[in-house]
Amino acid sequence: TQRVWNVVKNETIPEEHMARVVEHLGPDGARSFFESGFIGIRPRDHLVDVKCLHAHLADYLLRGDDALIGKEVYSRLEALGVDPCGSSPRRG
């Protein structure tokens, strides 16, 4: 997931916008931004936990079965009787 979103981000941002990122974040901040993938995690962060389950769910809803964590979140919500695609507003 991280690598896919890193590629999407870096291939869709026009060069003039990339220059503005460097201007606003500085060289180190821009490097961190361009190296990060989905939800701002960089492959070198070597996380052993999962964060931002809502973002993984959105990734699954967008990309399908390739988003394994989001697929698991979806399945667990369904098992709990929660509609993963949203719910009705509260009443009363």
- pLDDT-derived band at 5 (thresholds 50, 70, 90) equals confident
Angle in degrees, CA 31, 53, 49, rounded to 5: 70
- pLDDT tens readout for residues 18-60: 899 999 999 998 888 887 766 666 655 555 667 788 888 988 9
Q: How far is Cα of residue 48 from the mean position of the Cα atoms in its chain?
A: 16
* pTM > 0.85: no
Return the DSSP state at 90. P
